[in-house]
Structure formats: structure tokens, C-alpha cells
Amino acid sequence: MNWDQIEGKWTEMKGKARSSWGDLTDDELDQIGGKKDQLVGKLQQKYGLAREDAERRADEWAEKQ
């Protein structure tokens, strides 16, 4: 699934994101709103990932959806 589709279906996708990244709170998931750059930033912040690694993980997650 591409990021435009994920953003459009974010209310449905939040549960899947929560199961993949349990450290993200409901408020943070609401802030992300399906936007890749927002998700990447939160992954960097919460998991201490480098930007490239966070982007890769976000893209891999999106491809599985």
C-alpha cells in the first residue's frame, strides 16, 4: 500500500501501526495521521533509530499492508 492510501485510511491503519510499534501512544498515532514523515520522526524519537533506518522500517511496514 502506498502512503497516500495509508493516509486516507489512517483510522483503520492505526491499529496495525499500534501492533507494530507498541510504544506509540494513541495521541501520537493521531498526530501522525498517516503521514510518512511524521511516523519516521516518531520512530526516531521513540526507538532511537537513524532517519534512514526509520524510513526503511516505515516503508517495509507500508508494503505489508
Q: Which fold has domain 3-64?
A: Protein Yjbj; Chain: A; (1.10.1470)
Domain boundaries defined on the chain: 3-64
Coil, helix or strand for 29?
helix
Q: pLDDT value at position 43?
A: 97
Rg (CA), the chain: 10
pLDDT in tens, 3-20: 999 999 999 999 999 999
**For the whole model, what pTM was predicted?**
0.93
Q: CB–CB of 29/18 below 8 Å?
A: yes
Q: pLDDT value at position 30?
A: 96
Check the CA dihedral 22-43-14-19 and report its sign: negative
Q: pLDDT value at position 15?
A: 93
Distances 32 to 22, 47 between C-alpha atoms, Å: 14, 16
Rounded Cα distance, 7 and 27, in Å: 16
pLDDT in tens, 11-60: 999 999 999 999 999 999 999 999 999 999 999 999 999 999 999 999 99
